[in-house]
């Protein structure tokens, strides 16, 4: 004991590096992204104890471990029947192909990756900012008759959150089924409000609760989706969470965001996606009935795919769809993202497109809500500028929209940032829209945002101080584990 007492730190360091070297071997055998692997290895070897903690919390690979099972939902006969009903005739697919030309390559990619069906009969409304979203959402909830399903990364019981949760309690008292899935890290709801929801008969479950005793890797894999399904007829998806930060009437800092409201066939795959999450968070083997998938009377014909990705999917579906759309662009690509920390595939695709004399424009915030994400984003901008990509920094406030428009015929709105976390770690969902009218409206949003941006010039951007560039380089090195 005396020896241990006198050499405690030496013993701890030996134990640390024994475990760290074992972790390094595990990382190498997994053959993960080299940049990510190097980041963890450097952390494990250069930061005793801290490196192990970071790897313990953030370094697990759940996509390969298949911890997230969706079989209980996807194997139910009603879900299989709904998926079969969404199959399009060859004639309808050909019509979409003719409209989209090369952009239609995204359709079979998502179908082959994740059985994501293209739906035709949809009506879509683009929503700018939280004030407009919550006005529409509250009206739809007021008129709901059977069920309301919510899945959110962030729900807070601040002003807008309390208003929403109180309204849901009111609808529950009318006999409606209310289910809420919240991310345990992103959301913050008081015990008092949780008791109220339970007393009202509302079911709410956290996604992967983080407790030290069982948090291995869980803090890293978060449910970043924002989904609402009302009566199986109306769906919402996009970048806007439930928090006063997203409502300019309640917020001193202007918050620019984009969401989409869907009526029609595409609500069905959105509903199935919610049920896969609910099955995981609740632990209940919910019997799904036709009541959750009613017939629709939508007369509009806007082609749309619901694309989902996360540790429960075999492929990085949304990233691959974005990559295919960019590489097949023939005229222009307009991207808005709050965090631009992409993988090499996306960077190369944008550089090649710009150097092929195509118009590539990207809007990012000038001032982010995360200093490390801001520096990491800035580290990528010089290489884009050198390739001819036009980079704009939003100055009116914080821009949180996650959108892309390609050639004025294809666009996407969703929860996916242009960063490693969204592409590979978090649970995400995007609406992929194959329509000139909606693409034109989203282009108008983009052009309006450009009025509140400063355009970066290559020469002046290169003149950043060495200190700034060094901070950016460190932040970029940490990007794979942000």
Name the residues annotated as catalytic.
224, 226, 231, 400, 402, 407
Name the burial class of residue 28, with classes exposed (0-12), middle (13-18) and buried (19+) by CB atoms within 10 angstroms of its CB.
exposed
Q: Are 210 and 56 in contact (CB under 8 A)?
A: no
Q: Are 409 and 439 in contact (CB under 8 A)?
A: yes
Which strand (E) or helix (H) includes residue 53?
helix 50-58
Which strand (E) or helix (H) includes residue 83?
helix 77-85
Helix axes 34-46, 8-30, angle to 10 degrees: 170
Task: Identify the residue whose tokens are 């959150």.
Answer: 161
| DSSP 8-state symbol, 264 | E
Q: In sequence order, what DSSP letters do the residues of 400-423 get, joined into one string?
A: ---EEEETTTEEEEES--EEHHHH
Q: Are 11 and 19 in contact (CB under 8 A)?
A: no
Question: What is the Cβ-side half-sphere exposure of residue 270, based on CA atoms within 13 angstroms?
Answer: 36
Rounded to whole angstroms, how far apart are CA atoms 218 and 234? 31
CB within 8 Å of 459: residues ≥ 6 apart: none
CA geometry: angle 472, 382, 421, nearest 5 deg: 55
Q: Are strands 359-365 and 390-394 parallel, antiparallel or unpaired?
A: parallel
Task: Identify the residue whose tokens are 């990364």.
Answer: 153
Rounded to whole angstroms, how far apart are CA atoms 380 and 375? 9
Rounded to whole angstroms, how far apart are CA atoms 182 and 241? 11
Q: Are 82 and 268 in contact (CB under 8 A)?
A: yes
User: CA torsion, points 90, 96, 100, 104, in degrees to nearest 10?
Assistant: -50
């Amino acid at each position: 004991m005396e020896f241990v007492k006198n050499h405690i730190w030496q013993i701890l360091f030996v134990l640390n590096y024994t475990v760290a070297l074992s972790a390094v071997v595990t990382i190498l055998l997994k053959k993960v992204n080299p940049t990510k692997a190097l980041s963890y290895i450097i952390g494990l070897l250069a930061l005793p104890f801290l490196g192990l903690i970071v790897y313990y919390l953030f370094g697990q690979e759940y996509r390969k471990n298949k911890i997230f099972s969706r079989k209980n939902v996807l194997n139910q006969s009603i879900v299989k029947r709904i998926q079969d009903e969404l199959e399009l005739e060859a004639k309808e697919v050909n019509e979409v192909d003719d409209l989209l030309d090369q952009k239609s390559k995204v359709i079979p990619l998502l179908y082959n990756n994740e059985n994501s069906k293209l739906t035709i009969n949809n009506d879509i409304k683009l929503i700018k900012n939280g004030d407009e979203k919550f006005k529409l959402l509250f009206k739809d909830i007021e008129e709901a008759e059977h069920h309301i399903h919510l899945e959110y990364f962030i729900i807070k019981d601040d002003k807008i959150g309390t208003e929403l949760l109180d309204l849901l309690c009111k609808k529950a008292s009318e006999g409606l089924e209310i289910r809420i899935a919240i991310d345990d890290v992103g959301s913050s709801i008081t015990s008092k409000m949780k008791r109220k929801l339970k007393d009202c008969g509302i079911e709410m479950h956290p996604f992967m609760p983080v407790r030290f005793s069982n948090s291995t890797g869980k803090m890293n894999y978060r449910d970043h989706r924002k989904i609402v399904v009302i009566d199986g007829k109306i769906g919402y998806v996009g970048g806007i969470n439930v928090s006063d930060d997203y409502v300019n009437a309640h917020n001193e800092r202007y918050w620019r965001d984009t969401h989409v409201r869907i009526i029609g066939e595409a609500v069905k795959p959105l509903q199935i996606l919610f049920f896969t999450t609910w099955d995981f968070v609740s632990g209940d083997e919910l019997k799904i009935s036709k009541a959750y998938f009613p017939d629709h009377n939508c007369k509009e014909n806007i082609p749309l795919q619901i694309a989902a990705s996360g540790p429960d999917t075999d492929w990085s579906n949304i990233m691959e769809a974005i990559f295919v759309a960019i590489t097949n662009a023939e005229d222009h690509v307009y991207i808005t993202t709050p965090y631009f920390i992409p993988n090499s595939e996306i960077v190369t695709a944008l550089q090649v497109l710009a150097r092929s004399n195509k118009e590539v424009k990207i809007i990012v915030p000038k001032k982010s809500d995360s200093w490390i994400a801001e520096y990491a984003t800035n580290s990528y901008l010089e290489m884009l500028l050198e390739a001819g990509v036009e980079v704009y920094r939003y100055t009116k406030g914080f821009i949180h929209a996650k959108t892309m428009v390609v050639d004025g015929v294809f666009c996407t709105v969703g929860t996916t940032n242009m960063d490693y976390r969204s592409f590979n770690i978090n649970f995400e969902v995007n609406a992929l829209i194959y329509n000139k009218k909606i693409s034109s409206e989203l282009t108008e949003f983009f052009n309006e945002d450009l009025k509140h941006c400063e355009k970066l010039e290559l020469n002046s951007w290169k003149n950043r101080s060495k200190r700034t560039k060094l901070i950016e380089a460190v932040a970029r090195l940490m990007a794979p584990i942000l």
